Structure 1
Amino acid sequence: MVQELQAEVVVVGAGPAGCAAAYYLARRGVDVVVLERATFPRSKVCGDGVAPRAVRALHDMGLEQELEQAGYRRIRAFRVVGSWGEAVKAGIRRRNCTPDYAYVVPRSHLDDMLVAAVRRRGARVIEGVRAQGTLTQTCGSRLGVTALKADGSTFVVKARVVVAADGSRGSFSRSFLPRGALTPNVIALRAYMAGVEEVDDALHFFLDKPLLPGYGWIFPGGRRGAPANVGVGMPVPALRRRKMGLRDVFSWFLGPESVAAAHLARARIIDPPQAFPLQLRYVRGRRRVGPILTVGDAANLINPLSGEGIAYALESGRIAADAIMHAFVSGPDVLSSYERRIDQAFAVDYLEGYALRRILSIPWVNGGVVRLLSRDERLAMGAMGILTNTIPPGRLLQPSLWTAMLSPSRLRATLHRVRPARG
């Protein structure tokens, strides 16, 4: 006989999005079961950057103090290097309740910390099981999610609502979303490297011409003495046009012709490069299928400028938890509000960010912008607010702003008119 578990909500995936949803539901007394394919601590390929918006979300969950106690240092600056080597470095500015710093935290530690917080709230986390792509309607309004154990046996979790948080490669989400909804259009590759020079105080982004319309990055180790996270990201169509593999691009980025060469001349790889896919399409109407809500990467919620997804994951998980709580009080039809709340939180900034990324992929444009920013510290801080997702990307899409580029004072004034945070 197949074992059955009863819950009010089942969450598939214990990454940041799934953990945020489970945390806020369990905190309100909801019976939650989390199904996770891996066992913790687990390695997760990622850039490891925890941007200010993600820091705020972790703080709201009471977890930032754990990062401090574990020795993670606050990163207070960003540095961007343009196509011809022009560079601008600026401090992170406190905006819209976000802090003026970021962290670099390996996902093996971050996800383990999140899972521990979920368990402390009373949720049941079952590791080493794979949620299969079959959802069966059971008695009343409950769904059955079938999970496969490592020994080949199965069990069913029955719940009123399902949260799909199994990422951009999740087989569970793919089983009910339209074909192509999670097909990656960007591939990134990262390695951990020792001996990287002069990067300790900032997150570095490189808009090297051969990398466009992608970019390279160097993030310092989150703790003193830890290896740096070094990587590149490229749109899949660009790789196909150039008939290149991403590892070839990464090798070039590590070489002497790259604008990052000064940092990497004596560096050595200590952990083999690993690739991970990203889906940077914002598609409305695919985040709720009946009583199933998708969150985080499974909902295509990734910052199109930086590729950072942790903040959107944590925020969307919390939004899903709120929508579920409202549905428990007012009826399942209220779940339809989830799509609207996701759009309110992310749609405009996402679409503006995607448009800006396309514009900045033009070498003469990004070179000119970086040169301009390097001459004006306050202007640079405003632009870094766009990169950290605390200032709307649309600030750099206004026609008046492009005219104002000939006048830094007018450009600065435009960038620093910040609208209130959404949600």
Structure 2
Amino acid sequence: MIDADVIVVGAGPGGSTAAYHMAQHGLSVLVLEKTQFPREKVCGDGLTPRAVKELIRMGVDTSPKGGWLQNKGLRVIGGGMRLELDWPDLASFPNYGLTRTRLDFDQLLADKAVEAGANLRTGHNVTGPILDASGRVVGVTAVHEGETKEFRAPVVLAADGVSARFALNLGINKREDRPMGVAVRQYFHSPSRHDDEYLESWLELRSKEGGDNLLPGYGWIFGLGDGRINVGLGVLNSSVAFGKTNYRRMLGDWLANTPDDWGLSDPANADGDPQGAALPMGFNRVPHYSRGVLLVGDSGGMVNPFNGEGIAYAMESGALAAEVAVQALSRPAGPLRERALAHYSTELKARYGGYYRLGNMFVKVIGNPHLMKIATQHGMPRPMLMKFVLKLLANLSEPRGGDAMDRVINALTRIAPAA
């Protein structure tokens, strides 16, 4: 018995985006989510124009009336300088970013999928695949209220996040030669900063002791528009501090050195404890298609190595997986369908492979605080260079045409070996 055309494991941004687009095209979609909404997630409150584009494709109201705080660009702090860079004005992407907490962001996208016709079942913890005699995945097992159930479909999308338990059950392990990051964030009440028009990126982190003793990693501060701000830091596995540092304590050391009127050095202003999460980067889990299963978003290690952004790539890969599934299921089961499904991996590599390869090399540079200091000192005083860096780090360039910066970025990603 077939329960759906496609089963989606996980109702995060990638899974819900895929479910929405597949349901829009008339497929029967079953989404199995282990938690209940609303739910809190650690990362993803700040969205670049890449993610905004995907929201617009889904018909989401991204105006302030819709509960969003729009931002104009990125404010970069480093090398004793402060530089405000507006998002580039492009035909391919909107020129604004957004902030919103994951507490209701994920539910908003899941609701859009349900409105499109997807069947969402929360409280269903998927425990593994169901295999046919050839080893192909033809469904999943899930536990709901202590009872194990089976659900069957000819195609399964694994969008279960950084844990990637479904992929692990298929023997698809992460690659140790690809970047991995750790992010820690905390909410603070800060009336003076909560409605900032810019996302803020700190290229250098210093403790209260100051001096040249730089803390590893990079930091961010951005408003949520509701009286609170999101403050956090990230550390990459190219840093000697990776896995050897108390990241929550490091966050406290950095915040203790911020101005008093921001309210970040006073624990009384904190809204909840610091929370951490892993950031699987640069295609650190492949293949992205195997035996009837497509990996979406974090489960396939699709976080951008340049800036730690994962939401946009989860949504983009979800939309691509949906397109592939629609085309594949229009074909009879067998070689023709498999050829269509295998195209998912090919297209992902074509879109992001060269760019992620560049990002993997970039990670090795910024993981060293001293190299980062040199780059900051020489780069920050050059606004035109920093504009180029913003386009590169945020992956915001016209895919065809554009200005000289766009052409350079596109050329670099074309000549770089695919990750």
Q: TM-score, normalised by structure 1?
A: 0.83
Work out whether 1:159 is the aligned partner of 2:156: no
Task: Return the offset for 1:324.
Answer: 1.2
Q: Which amino acid letter does the alignment assign opposite residue 359 of structure 2?
A: G
**What's 1:401 paired with?**
none
Distance 2:316 2:122 in 1: 23
Distance 1:294 1:361 in 2: 28
**What's 1:409 paired with?**
none
What are the residue-to-residue correspondences of 1:188-267 with 2, within 5 Å? Answer: 188-195=183-190, 197-198=192-193, 200-208=196-204, 214-221=217-224, 223=225, 225-236=226-237, 238=239, 243-256=244-257, 263=262, 264-265=264-265
**What's 2:320 paired with?**
319
Distance 2:13 2:73 in 1: 24
**Percentage of identical aligned residues:** 31
Q: Which amino acid letter does the alignment assign opposite residue 220 of structure 2?
A: W
Task: Return the offset for 1:229.
Answer: 0.5
What are the residue-to-residue correspondences of 1:6-405 with 2, within 5 Å? Answer: 6-63=3-60, 65=61, 67-82=63-78, 84-137=79-132, 143-150=138-145, 152-181=146-175, 185-195=180-190, 197-198=192-193, 200-208=196-204, 214-221=217-224, 223=225, 225-236=226-237, 238=239, 243-256=244-257, 263=262, 264-265=264-265, 268-283=269-284, 285-330=286-331, 331-333=336-338, 334-363=340-369, 365-371=371-377, 374-391=380-397
User: Runs of at least 4 residues of structure 1 off by over 6 A?
Assistant: 138-142
User: Against the structure 1 CA distance between its residues 295 and 255, is the aligned structure 2 distance closer, same or farther, given a 3 Å change threshold?
Assistant: same
- Between 1:67-76 and 1:123-132, the stretch displaced more is 67-76
Distance 1:350 1:175 in 2: 26
Distance 1:293 1:6 in 2: 18
- Between 1:107-116 and 1:230-239, the stretch displaced more is 230-239
Equivalent residues, number: 393
User: Against the structure 1 CA distance between its residues 216 and 47, is the aligned structure 2 distance closer, same or farther, given a 3 Å change threshold?
Assistant: farther
Q: Is the 8 A contact 2:179 2:363 kept in 1?
A: no
SS of match in other structure, 1:308:
coil
Q: Is the 8 A contact 1:177 1:286 kept in 2?
A: no
Q: Is the 8 A contact 1:215 1:232 kept in 2?
A: yes
Which sections of structure 1, spanning at least 5 residues, go unmatched? 393-411
Q: TM-score, normalised by structure 2?
A: 0.84
- Between 1:135-144 and 1:201-210, the stretch displaced more is 135-144
Task: Return the offset for 1:254.
Answer: 1.1
Task: Return the offset for 1:376.
Answer: 4.6
Q: Is the 8 A contact 1:5 1:157 kept in 2?
A: yes
Task: Return the offset for 1:327.
Answer: 1.3
Q: Is the 8 A contact 1:213 1:358 kept in 2?
A: no
Q: Is the 8 A contact 2:69 2:100 kept in 1?
A: no
Which sections of structure 2, spanning at least 5 residues, go unmatched? 206-212, 415-419
Distance 1:48 1:207 in 2: 19
Distance 1:196 1:361 in 2: 33
Distance 1:148 1:163 in 2: 18
**What's 1:406 paired with?**
none
User: Against the structure 1 CA distance between its residues 184 and 369, is the aligned structure 2 distance closer, same or farther, given a 3 Å change threshold?
Assistant: closer
